[in-house]
């Protein structure tokens, strides 16, 4: 009942183990007849080559590790599919881990991948720069410009520009009192910067509320005080009697640095009696599946995550091949939906 090895296959096919190995790595210099014999022996024995042995013996493992910053930010699903497309074409197997996957072993994912001798690493989302630097393998940072390390190219969308696009969109709709709900982290900081710059250029006063975390709840907690005392009835004309607070009038538009936070902002606004988009327009970021839900219909900014993933894969391939790979920054787009509208009472 032993697991079949390359020798079993060789014997069955009447060839040498080396020839079997060549077939498995589909080398061009194997005669069609022998190739067929080997393949049928493989099928008959239900043989699966051991990646462990192959990796140990060979100069590379043909596998690459993907570290996902946060599984609950669905952004990564599309990005992964892009990585799959480009890296798969080159025959690489992907293996994913989140930042906390094996933390119980006191092992960060980069060490885990190092132990597996992956040929390269993709860091999707926020990651510690020191960790990147420490890892010996070729690496690419995907999705944020906030993490920099020497020799590690970045593939991301221009998040500052994304913040600008969001803000410009709101300004074009006639809004002046535009707030930004930001969060910790490099991406958020970039997006926020785009907002601040664009507001300043338009001669408007930027107002940033910084949430403690990057999720819905934190956003709600951060923005709620802004609505305090300003809310009214069932969302009709409630804004008319809004009390202005210390730093600015109750905003008529809010840019949240990611989609879950935007949903939190909408929740807080509704709770305070405002309706979206009639009273308050909201823009999110990432264009996640969340934004597409009919019930949410959130206008959102994003670099196409699939495109980014694909580009990151190509960059990593170049890096592994020894070509010096350069960072690539993509322009973000805006997906217009139902959470933003022209301001009615300017």
Cα–Cα distance measured from residue 118 to residue 110, given in angstroms and rounded to the nearest whole number:
10
Range 178-202 burial, b when 16+ CB lie within 10 A, else e:
bbbbbbebbbbbbbbbbbbebbeee
CB 218 → DNA: shortest distance, Å? 43
Question: Whole-number minimum distance, CB 220 to a second copy, in Å?
Answer: 6
Q: Which of 24, 30, 101, 129 binds a second copy (CB under 8 A)?
A: 101
The verdict on whether omega for the bond into residue 246 sits within 30 degrees of 0, i.e. cis, is no
Nearer to a second copy, 95 or 148 (CB): 95
Chain residues 249-288 in contact with a second copy, contact rule CB under 8 A: 260, 263-264, 266-268, 270-271
Query: Using CA atoms, how far apart are residues 57 and 60, in angstroms rounded to an integer?
Result: 9
Picked from DNA, a second copy, none, the partner binding residue 267 (CB below 5 to 8 A depending on kind) is a second copy
Nearer to DNA, 48 or 324 (CB): 48
In the chain, DSSP assigns E strands to 63-68, 93-98, 120-124, 139-142, 154-157, 178-182, 207-210, 253-256, 281-285, 299-302, 328-330, 333-335
Q: Is 91 in the site for a second copy (CB under 8 A)?
A: yes
Q: How far is the CB of 102 from DNA (least distance, A)?
A: 17
Residue numbers at the binding site for DNA (CB under 7 A): 2-3, 5-7, 15-19, 21-22, 24-25, 28-31, 33-34, 47, 49-50, 53-54, 56-60
User: 281, 126, 127, 256: which is closest to 191 by C-alpha?
Assistant: 256
Among 7, 27, 36, 56, binds a second copy (CB under 8 A): 56
CB 42 within 8 A of CB 25: no
Q: Residue 228 is encoded by which pair of tokens?
A: 């305090």
Structural contact between residues 272 and 301, judged by C-beta atoms closer than 8 angstroms = no
Quote the least distance from Cβ 39 to a second copy, whole Å.
13
Least distance in Å: CB of 113 to a second copy? 10
Supply the minimum distance, in Å, between the C-beta of residue 40 and DNA.
Answer: 15
Angle between helices 186-201 and 159-172 (to 10 degrees): 40
Judged by CB under 8 A, does residue 102 bind a second copy? yes
Which residues contribute to the site for a second copy (CB under 8 A)? 3, 48-53, 55-56, 61, 71-72, 74, 76-77, 80-81, 84-85, 88-89, 91, 93-98, 100-105, 107, 111-112, 114-117, 136, 216, 220, 260, 263-264, 266-268, 270-271, 289-290, 292-296
């Amino acid at each position: 009942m032993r697991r079949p090895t390359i020798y079993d296959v060789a014997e069955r096919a009447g060839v040498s183990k080396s020839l079997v190995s060549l077939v498995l790595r589909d080398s061009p210099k194997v005669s069609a007849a022998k190739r067929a014999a080997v393949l049928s022996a493989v099928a008959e024995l239900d043989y699966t080559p051991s990646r462990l042995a192959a990796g140990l013996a060979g100069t590379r493992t043909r596998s690459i590790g993907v570290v996902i910053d946060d599984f609950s930010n669905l952004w990564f699903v599309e990005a992964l599919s892009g990585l799959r497309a480009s890296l798969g074409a080159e025959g690489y197997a992907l293996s994913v881990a989140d930042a906390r996957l094996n933390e119980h072993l006191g092992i960060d994912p980069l060490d885990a991948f190092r132990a597996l001798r992956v040929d390269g690493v993709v860091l999707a989302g926020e990651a510690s720069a020191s960790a990147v630097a420490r890892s010996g393998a070729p690496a690419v940072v995907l999705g944020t410009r906030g993490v920099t390390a020497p020799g590690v190219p970045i593939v991301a969308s221009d998040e500052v520009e994304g913040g600008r696009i969001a803000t410009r969109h709101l300004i074009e709709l006639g809004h002046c009192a535009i707030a930004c709900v930001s969060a910790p982290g490099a991406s958020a900081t970039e997006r926020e910067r785009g907002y601040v710059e664009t507001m300043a250029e338009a001669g408007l006063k930027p107002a940033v509320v910084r949430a403690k975390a990057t999720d819905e709840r934190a956003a709600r907690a951060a923005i709620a005080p802004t609505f305090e005392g300003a809310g009214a009835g069932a969302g009709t004309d409630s804004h008319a009697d809004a009390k202005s607070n210390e730093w600015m009038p109750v905003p008529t538009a809010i840019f949240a640095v990611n989609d879950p936070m935007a949903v939190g902002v909408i929740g807080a606004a509704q709770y305070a009696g405002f309706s979206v988009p009639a009273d308050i327009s909201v823009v999110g970021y990432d264009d996640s599946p969340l934004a597409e839900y009919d019930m949410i219909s959130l206008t959102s900014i994003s670099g196409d995550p699939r495109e980014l993933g694909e580009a990151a894969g190509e960059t990593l391939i170049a890096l592994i091949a020894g070509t010096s790979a350069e960072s690539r920054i993509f322009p973000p787009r805006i997906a217009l939906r139902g959470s933003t509208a022209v301001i009615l009472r300017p």
